[in-house]
Amino acid sequence: MTLRARFLFLCVFCLSIGLAGQEPQDHGTTGDYGGEGDMTEVHMSCDGHAAEYDPAGVILHHIADANEFHLFGDFTIPLPVILYAPDHGFTVGFSNMFHHGQEAVDGYVMNHGRINRISGAPDELLEGHHHVECIRHEVFTSEEGKTADIYSARIDGEEYLLDAPSVGDGGLLGGGITSFYDFSITKNVFTMLLSAFLLILLWGAVAAKYKKNEGRAPSGIQSLMEPFFVFLRDEISIPMIGEKHYERFQPFIMTIFFFVLFCNLFGLIPIFPGSSNVTGNIGVTMALAVISAVVAYVHGNAHFWKHTLWMPGVPTAVKPLLTVVEVLGLVIKPFSLMVRLFANITAGHIIILSLISLIFIFGQNGESLVGAGAGAVVSIAFTMFMNCIELLVAFVQAFIFAILSASYIGAAVEDAHHHDELGHHGEEKVAEGGAMGGAVTGMHTPAN
Number of domains in the chain: 2
pLDDT, position 294? 92
Mean pLDDT of 306-318: 81
- 5 is a domain residue: no
428 pLDDT higher than 60: no
Q: What angle do CA 366, 268, 199 make, to 5 degrees?
A: 155
Residue 259 confidence class, pLDDT cut points 50, 70, 90: very high
d(CA 178, CA 106): 16
Residue 196 confidence class, pLDDT cut points 50, 70, 90: very high
Residue 213 and residue 143 share a domain: no
| Residue 390 backbone class (left: φ over 0; alpha: ψ -120 to 50; beta: rest) | alpha
| Residue 90 backbone class (left: φ over 0; alpha: ψ -120 to 50; beta: rest) | beta
Residue 374 and residue 394 share a domain: yes
Percent of the chain residues topping a pLDDT of 90: 15
**pLDDT tens digits, one per residue of 286-305:** 999 999 999 999 988 888 88
Residue 245 and residue 174 share a domain: no
- 364 is a domain residue: yes
d(CA 353, CA 61): 11
- 6 is a domain residue: no
Contacts of 10 (CB under 8 A, 6+ apart): 251, 252, 255
pLDDT, position 260? 93
Of residues 172 and 427, more confidently modeled: 172
- 344 is a domain residue: yes
Cis preceding-peptide flag for 273 (omega within 30 of 0)? yes
Residue 377 and residue 232 share a domain: yes
d(CA 414, CA 297): 12
* E runs forming strands in 100-241: 103-105, 108-111, 114-118, 129-131, 134-142, 147-155, 158-163, 181-182
- 448 is a domain residue: no
The partner residues of 118 in beta bridges, in order of sequence, read 162
In this structure, of 60-74, 151-165, 230-244, 258-272, the range with the lowest mean pLDDT score is 60-74
One-letter amino acid identity for 141?
A: T
Mean pLDDT of 423-444: 40
- 16 is a domain residue: no
pLDDT, position 13? 47
Residue 211 and residue 179 share a domain: no
- 369 is a domain residue: yes
In this structure, of 140-149, 184-193, 400-409, 439-448, the range with the lowest mean pLDDT score is 439-448
- Report which listed range, 88-102, 169-183, 309-323, 427-441, is most confident: 88-102
Which one, of 263, 229, 257, 277, lies nearest residue 396 by Cα? 257
d(CA 226, CA 218): 8
pLDDT, position 441? 36
d(CA 325, CA 346): 30
d(CA 323, CA 301): 17
Listed residues 134, 152, 184: the one ending a domain: 184
Residue 32 and residue 173 share a domain: yes
- Residue 101: how many CB atoms within 10 A of its CB? 17
Of residues 245 and 367, more confidently modeled: 245
pLDDT, position 418? 52
In this structure, of 222-226, 256-260, 419-423, the range with the lowest mean pLDDT score is 419-423
- Residue 392: how many CB atoms within 10 A of its CB? 9
The partner residues of 72 in beta bridges, in order of sequence, read 75
- Residue 431: how many CB atoms within 10 A of its CB? 11
Of residues 403 and 433, more confidently modeled: 403
> Number of helices and strands (H, E) in the chain?
11, 13
Which one, of 112, 101, 134, lies nearest residue 65 by Cα? 112
pTM of the model: 0.78
Residue 130 and residue 202 share a domain: no
**pLDDT tens digits, one per residue of 52-91:** 666 676 777 777 888 888 777 778 888 899 999 888 889 8
Query: Do residues 35 and 142 lie in contact, with contact meaning Cβ atoms separated by under 8 Å?
Result: yes
pLDDT, position 322? 85
Residue 196 and residue 154 share a domain: no
d(CA 103, CA 119): 16
Residue 255 and residue 363 share a domain: yes
Provide the mean pLDDT of the chain. Answer: 77
366 pLDDT higher than 70: no
Residue 66 and residue 129 share a domain: yes
pLDDT, position 59? 77
Residue 197 and residue 173 share a domain: no
Residue 193 and residue 121 share a domain: no
Residue 417 confidence class, pLDDT cut points 50, 70, 90: low
- 126 is a domain residue: yes
The partner residues of 154 in beta bridges, in order of sequence, read 134, 159
Domain that holds residue 326: 189-414
The partner residues of 81 in beta bridges, in order of sequence, read 93
d(CA 112, CA 164): 12
